[in-house]
Structure 1
Amino acid sequence: MSSDYDPQHAPAGDVGAALMMIDSRLKAIHDGKAGVDPEQQLLIEQFAASLGPKGANDVLDGACTLVYMFTTWLRKAHEEHGKDVIEYVVPHLVASLRMMPKSVRPEAIPTMAGLVIAAGTGLSPSLWRRQYGEWTEEEMNPLEATAFLLAEHINRIADNPDFATRLVTDALSRADGR
C-alpha cells in the first residue's frame, strides 16, 4: 500500500550541500578538532546566508535525504543480523543528542527520533516532518547533529571514517549516470 509519505513523493533537495556540511563536521572531529573551528563556522554561515529561502529549504530536504539514506543503510545492515534498526539505532541517537545540550534543545529530540523512525519504516523524513508545520530555527542544529550522528554510526560499523560520505557520493554518481 502506497503512502503520501513514501520517498518517491519527496524532493531530494540539495544532498551535495548537506553532505558537504556533514562531511566537514566528520573530518573536523577525526582531525582532533572537537570544538567548532571559528573560520569553518564563518564559512558555513556565509554559505547558508547566500542560499536564500529556496536554497535553505533545498539543504533541509537534502539533510532529510541523508537521514533517509543513512537509516536505510543501517536498517539493511541490522536486518542482516536479525536486528531492528529502530530498536538499536534510535536509543543510541537519543542518548547522543541528549549529551549535546548546547546544540540540541531537549524539545527537538523527539522530532529527530521521529525522523529516523520515519526513515526506518520506509517513509520520507522530510514529508513526515512537513505534516507538523514549518521547520523551526531550533531544529536546524539538531537536524545536522542527527545526520552527523547517523553518518558517524555508519563509519564506526564499517570501521572506515569516510564510509558514509562515500556511500552517498557513490549513490549520487550512479543517479547522475542514468
Structure 2
Amino acid sequence: MPSPCDPRYAPVGDVGAALMMVDSRLKSVYDSSTGTDPDPARQQMVDQFAASLGPTGLDDLLDGTCTLIYTLMTWLRAACEDHGKDVIEYSVPALVGSMRVMRKTFRPEVIPTMAGLLVAAGTGLSPNLWRAQHGDWTEAEMNPLEATAVLLAEHVNRIADDRLFATRLITEALAAADQD
C-alpha cells in the first residue's frame, strides 16, 4: 500500500521560482566567499519577486521548494548508493551541523523539522506531504525552509565539485518535464 506521503500525491509547486530564489542565494554565498560584494540588483529582483507573490503564489513557492529538496535528495541518494553509502548517514548530519551554527536563520526549535524534511526526502517521501502531517507551515519556518534548500544545493555542488551543478540538475529536469 503506498504511503500518503508518496511523492506522486504531492503538489509540485513553482519549482522555477524556488530555483531562482535558491540560485540567487547560492550566488550571494559564493560571492561573499570570494570577497566579491553581493549584487544588490540581483537581491532587489529576488525581494521584488517574493513581494509580488500572493497567497497562492506563496503556497506554490513553498511546494516548489519542497520539490527542489526532494529532487536534490533523490540525486544525493543515488550518488551515495553508487559509493555504498547511506544518504541519511552521509548528508543529514553535515547539513544539520550547518544549521546548528547558523543561529540567526535556524532557531533550535525548527531544526528537527528541517532535518525531518531531509530524512523524508532521503527515504523517498514527499517533504511537503510529510510536513503537512504536522499541521500548517509556520512563519518561523519560512526562512529555515529556504536556507535548507540552499544548504542542500550547496552540499550537492560540493559533492559534484561544480558550483552550478544543483541549478543545472534542476533546470535540466524541468526542461525534460516540459518536453514530456
**TM > 0.5 fold call:** yes
- Structure 2 CA distance for aligned equivalents of residues 49 and 132 of structure 1: 27
- Structure 1 CA distance for aligned equivalents of residues 44 and 110 of structure 2: 24
Preserved CA contact (<8 Å) 2:24 2:46: no
- Structure 1 CA distance for aligned equivalents of residues 131 and 38 of structure 2: 28
Residue 81 of structure 1 corresponds to 83
Kindly provide the amino acid, as one letter, of the partner of residue 128 in structure 2: S
- The alignment's TM-score, normalised by the length of structure 1, stands at 0.94
Question: 1:30-67 CA distances to partner (integer Å, 9 max, x unpaired)?
Answer: 22268876655443333222111100000000000010
Kindly provide the amino acid, as one letter, of the partner of residue 134 in structure 2: Y
Residue 133 of structure 2 corresponds to 131
Question: 1:121-172 CA distances to partner (integer Å, 9 max, x unpaired)?
Answer: 1100000001111111110111111111111111011110000000000000
**Distance verdict in 2 for CA 1:135–1:37, change over 3 Å:** farther
- Structure 2 CA distance for aligned equivalents of residues 144 and 41 of structure 1: 15
Kindly provide the amino acid, as one letter, of the partner of residue 122 in structure 2: G
Kindly provide the amino acid, as one letter, of the partner of residue 6 in structure 2: D
Please, which runs of 5 or more residues in structure 1 have no aligned partner? none
**Distance verdict in 2 for CA 1:37–1:102, change over 3 Å:** farther
The count of residues paired between Structure 1 and Structure 2 equals 178
Residue 121 of structure 2 corresponds to 119
- Structure 2 CA distance for aligned equivalents of residues 37 and 163 of structure 1: 21
Establish whether residue 63 from structure 1 lines up as the match of residue 65 from structure 2.
yes
Identical positions, percent: 66
Residue 166 of structure 1 corresponds to 168
Query: Pick from 87, 99, 102: which aligns with 1:100?
Result: 102
